[in-house]
């Protein structure tokens, strides 16, 4: 008899969600985490003394409402919502703020274009409806296309509601929009660059492409479906940083009886008679289980935890062909005071600054930022996504001081000019220079800075090529194709071996859905 029902390799948020669900269902669960803290890419770290920083992920609002509810997380962690969904300073010193409230946003938009202001509510309505359908897809276990089983049809029934609400006449819109570039989609509705940039930028926040590329309308929709704001992105801060969120997940899992060990690096999955039967730690220690689940990315899972020669040629070729391609750097700044944005001069800036801040004045700007990555260069005028979490949770920094966390795009994994280490600080300078055009005092208030390039994200957080999503969120790596067709249902060709990370459907972002879906499939198999 095995020691455990399930061993989960990796205590990233998805691994913890899977652990919590399985433990909740009465399974004996062991979670093994290589690092000294749980959370994976959703962690709070004291990068500067006295500052608690969400080093990689900081989009807390994406965690699925279902997961939150079913694992009773609200009792364990507090999130501070923000009324501002995106504060977008413009190069001409004006600004556009997207509020949760549609009417209020429309009034803002009217300053740029009356026509756009009129279109905005219609756009939000259409996108929300389509996003509901996409959201339904996300919580599904993808069918084994082109085959569709009875069970798939039953699962698919969950889509009927959202599709009905969308309306038959708009089904073509759904099909037409999904593979489109977000830029084309936004051009159909809006004429003002600022508006297009404000909404469209988040379509590429998590992928390598620019907004003119096909498939980015889908990423916009998937962000929309998970944001919790009813809009294209989430807004809000976890008290205590992202680590508090994964800490809460770990507590929930423990509360259900799961055992979690940190500092326990798994060197391999033990396979006997073509079945995963346990794991071996790098210490040599072994644990047996009826099922093993990997929260690691697919390449790590199949090349390192398992032996690649277990798999047929198509399988290894498909794994080899998974596109990872990190494209962003994370830059954290310790600030002695708040940045003063020209666009907010003379008023109370706190409201706008407590939500996400976007430097993406137009989609051409973002696209041009992207263009250089094709030639192995970082952007000279980067697209920036900023968050000052200390405005929502002052406890994250010493009194009166602030954290500014930046996702800076684009920063390709490989630079033509050579090793990133030689260019890391100059890219950070470019980022700060860009920021200074909007908030001129920024250089004066920076007391410390920390730069994580894609190779840093890879080496420090185990994110291959620095992609936090364990593989690009593109259409060819979506749904029944994610991470590769034969593993899209969370199972692998090795019996008893599962995947639950962001490499699986529906992919990255701190949604917990891959973990949730994987747990569901594991429970189905072990009934």
Partner 1 sequence: MTQNYDAIIVGGGHNGLTCAAYLARAGRKVLVLEQRHVLGGAAVSEEIYPGFTYSVCSYVVSLLRPEVIRELELAKYGLKIHPNDSVFVPMENGDSFTSYADETKARREFGRFSQRDAEMASRFHEVMYKMAFAVKPIIGYVPPNIIKPSLRDLGTLKDLGKHMRGLGKETFHELCKIMVMSADDFLGEYFETDVIRAVHGMSGIIGTMLGVRSPGTAYVLLHHYMGELDGAFTAWGAQQGGTGGVSEAIAGSARNHGAEIRVSAPVAQVIVKNGSAVGVALENGDEFYADTIVSGCDPKVTFRKLVEEKDLPADLVRSIDKFKYRGSSGKVNLALDGLPHFPSLKDPSVLKGAIDICPSVRYIEKAYDDAKYGGFSKRPAMEVVIPSVVDPTMAPQGKHMMSIFVQYAAYDMSEYGNRDQQREAFGNAVIDTLSEFAPNIKDLILHKQVLTPWDLEQQIGLTEGNIFQGELTLDQLFFLRPAAGWADYRTPIRGYWQCGSGTHPGGGITAGPGRLAAREILGGKL
Partner 2 sequence: MLKPTPFHSRTGPLCQGHSWANWAGFLAATTYEPDHLHEYNAVRTGSGLFDVSPLFKYDIRGRDALATVNRVAVRDLSKSRIGQVYYSVWCDDKGMVIDDGTISQLGEDHFRITAAIPTLAWLQDNAIGLEVTIEDVSEQFAGVALQGPTSRDMLQSLTDVDLSSLRFFRCTDGKVAGAPALISRTGYTGDLGYEIFVGPDDAESLWDAMMEAGGKFQMLPAGLATLDLVRIEGGLLGIDADFTSALQTMFPVQKLSVYDLGLGWMIKANKSFFVGRDALRREKASGSRYDTVGLELDVTVLEKVYAEYGMPLHLPYTSWNSAVPVFSDEPQKHHIGRGTSGMWSPVLKKYIVMARVKPEYAKLGNLIWIEDVVESHSYSIPARVVKMPFYDPPWKKA
The DSSP symbol for 263 reads: S
- Pairwise CA distance, residues 84 & 82, whole Å: 5
Which range in 118-126, 207-215, 268-276, 513-521 contacts partner 1 by CB under 8 A?
207-215
CB of 322 to partner 2, least distance (A): 12
- Pairwise CA distance, residues 482 & 469, whole Å: 11
**Cβ atoms 288, 171 nearer than 8 A:** no
Helix or strand holding residue 106 (H, E): helix 102-110
Contact between 497 and partner 2 by CB under 8 A: the answer reads: no
Among partner 2, partner 1, none, what binds residue 498 when CB lies within 5 to 8 Å by partner kind?
A: none
Three-class SS of residue 392? Answer: coil
| Candidate residues 164, 168, 309, 527; the one interacting with partner 1 per rule CB under 8 A | 168
CA–chain centroid gap for 342, Å, is: 30
Among partner 2, partner 1, none, what binds residue 308 when CB lies within 5 to 8 Å by partner kind?
A: partner 2
Smaller CB distance to partner 1: residue 246 or 474? 474
Which range in 24-32, 176-184, 239-247, 286-294 contacts partner 1 by CB under 8 A?
176-184
Among positions 279-318, residues that touch partner 1 (CB under 8 A) are 314, 317
Which range in 28-36, 142-150, 327-335, 424-432 contacts partner 1 by CB under 8 A?
142-150
Contact between 65 and partner 1 by CB under 8 A: the answer reads: no
| Candidate residues 48, 190, 209, 413; the one interacting with partner 1 per rule CB under 8 A | 209
Which pair of tokens denotes residue 395? 């406890």
Smaller CB distance to partner 1: residue 102 or 187? 187
Which pair of tokens denotes residue 107? 């009034």
CB of 216 to partner 1, least distance (A): 9
Nearest one of 330, 341, 335, 340 to 96, comparing CA atoms: 341
Pairing of strands 29-32, 259-261: parallel
Count of residues engaged in binding partner 2, rule: CB under 8 A = 16
Q: What's the start-to-end Cα distance of the chain, in Å?
A: 17
CB of 370 to partner 1, least distance (A): 10
Helix or strand holding residue 4 (H, E): strand 4-9
Among positions 435-464, residues that touch partner 2 (CB under 8 A) are none
φ/ψ of residue 310, rounded to 5: -80, -15
Count how many residues are written for the chain: 527
Task: Provide DSSP, 413-482.
Answer: SS-TTS-GGGTHHHHHHHHHHHHHTTSTTHHHHEEEEEEE-HHHHHHHH--GGG-TTSS---GGGSGGGS
Contact between 484 and partner 2 by CB under 8 A: the answer reads: no
Among partner 2, partner 1, none, what binds residue 381 when CB lies within 5 to 8 Å by partner kind?
A: none
Among positions 320-379, residues that touch partner 1 (CB under 8 A) are 321, 323, 364, 368, 371, 374-375
**Cβ atoms 430, 378 nearer than 8 A:** yes
Cα 23–29–30 angle (5° rounding)?
140
**Cβ atoms 504, 487 nearer than 8 A:** yes
Contact between 381 and partner 2 by CB under 8 A: the answer reads: no
| Cα-Cα-Cα-Cα dihedral sign, residues 299, 375, 369, 120 | negative
Which range in 4-12, 206-214, 223-231, 275-283 contacts partner 1 by CB under 8 A?
206-214
Binding mask of the shown chain, residues 372 to 411, with x at each position contacting partner 1 by CB under 8 A: --xx------------------------------------
| Candidate residues 92, 118, 312, 429; the one interacting with partner 2 per rule CB under 8 A | 312
Among partner 1, partner 2, none, what binds residue 312 when CB lies within 5 to 8 Å by partner kind?
A: partner 2
Contact between 122 and partner 1 by CB under 8 A: the answer reads: no
Binding mask of the shown chain, residues 279 to 308, with x at each position contacting partner 2 by CB under 8 A: -----------------------xx---xx
| Candidate residues 146, 284, 346, 347; the one interacting with partner 1 per rule CB under 8 A | 146
Smaller CB distance to partner 1: residue 184 or 259? 184
Q: Which residue has the tokens 């630079």?
A: 415
Contact between 163 and partner 1 by CB under 8 A: the answer reads: no
Contact between 317 and partner 2 by CB under 8 A: the answer reads: yes
Smaller CB distance to partner 1: residue 172 or 346? 172
- Pairwise CA distance, residues 98 & 195, whole Å: 9
Three-class SS of residue 81? Answer: strand
Contact between 100 and partner 1 by CB under 8 A: the answer reads: no
| Cα-Cα-Cα-Cα dihedral sign, residues 266, 270, 276, 277 | negative
The DSSP symbol for 235 reads: -
Contact between 487 and partner 2 by CB under 8 A: the answer reads: no
Which residues bind to partner 2, rule: CB under 8 A?
Answer: 274, 302-303, 307-317, 319-320
Which residues bind to partner 1, rule: CB under 8 A?
Answer: 144-147, 168-169, 171-172, 175-177, 179-180, 184, 188, 209, 212-215, 314, 317, 321, 323, 364, 368, 371, 374-375, 474-476, 480-481, 485
């Amino acid at each position: 008899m095995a020691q455990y029902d399930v061993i989960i390799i990796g205590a990233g948020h998805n691994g913890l969600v899977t652990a919590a669900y399985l433990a909740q269902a009465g399974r004996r669960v062991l979670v093994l985490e290589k690092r000294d803290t749980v959370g994976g890419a959703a962690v709070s770290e004291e990068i500067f003394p006295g500052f608690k920083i969400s080093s990689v992920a900081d989009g807390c609002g994406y965690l699925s409402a279902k997961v939150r509810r079913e694992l009773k997380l609200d009792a364990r962690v507090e999130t501070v919502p923000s009324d501002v969904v995106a504060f977008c300073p413009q190069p001409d010193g004006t600004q556009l703020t997207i509020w949760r409230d549609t009417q209020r946003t429309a009034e803002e938009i009217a300053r740029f274009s009356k026509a756009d202001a009129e279109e905005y509510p219609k756009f939000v309505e259409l996108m929300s409806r389509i996003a509901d359908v996409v959201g339904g897809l996300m919580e599904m276990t993808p069918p084994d296309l082109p085959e569709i089983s009875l069970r798939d049809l039953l699962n698919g029934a969950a889509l009927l509601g959202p599709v009905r609400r969308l309306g038959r006449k708009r089904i073509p819109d759904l099909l037409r929009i999904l593979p489109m570039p977000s830029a084309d989609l936004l051009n159909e509705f809006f004429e003002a660059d600022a508006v297009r940039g404000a909404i469209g930028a988040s379509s590429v926040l998590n992928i390598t492409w620019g907004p003119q590329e096909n498939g980015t309308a889908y990423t916009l929709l998937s962000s929309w479906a998970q944001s919790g704001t009813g809009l294209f992105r989430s807004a809000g801060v976890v008290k205590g940083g992202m680590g508090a969120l994964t800490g809460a997940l770990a507590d929930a899992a423990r509360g259900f009886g799961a055992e979690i060990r940190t500092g326990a690096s798994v060197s391999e999955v033990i396979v006997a008679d073509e079945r995963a039967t346990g794991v071996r730690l790098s210490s040599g220690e072994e644990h047996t289980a009826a099922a093993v689940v990997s929260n690691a990315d697919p390449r790590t899972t199949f090349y390192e935890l398992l032996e690649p020669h277990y798999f047929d040629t198509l399988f290894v070729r498909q794994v080899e062909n998974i596109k990872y391609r990190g494209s962003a750097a994370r830059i954290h700044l310790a600030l002695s005071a708040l940045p003063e944005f020209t666009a907010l001069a003379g008023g109370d800036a706190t409201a706008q600054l407590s939500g996400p801040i976007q430097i993406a004045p137009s989609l051409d700007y973002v696209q041009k930022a992207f263009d250089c990555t094709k030639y192995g260069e970082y952007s000279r005028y980067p697209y920036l996504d900023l968050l000052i979490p200390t405005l929502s949770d002052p406890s994250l920094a010493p009194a009166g001081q602030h954290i500014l966390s930046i996702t800076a795009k684009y920063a390709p994994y490989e630079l033509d000019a050579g090793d990133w280490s030689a260019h890391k600080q100059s890219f950070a300078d470019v980022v700060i220079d860009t920021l200074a055009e909007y908030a001129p005092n920024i250089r004066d208030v920076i007391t410390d800075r920390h730069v994580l390039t894609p190779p840093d994200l890879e080496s420090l957080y185990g994110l291959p090529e620095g992609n936090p999503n364990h593989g690009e969120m593109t259409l060819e790596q979506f749904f029944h194709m994610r991470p590769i067709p034969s593993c899209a249902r969370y199972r692998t060709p090795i019996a008893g071996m599962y995947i639950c990370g962001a490499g699986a459907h529906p992919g990255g972002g701190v949604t917990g859905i891959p973990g949730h879906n994987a747990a569901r499939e594991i429970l189905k198999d072990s009934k």
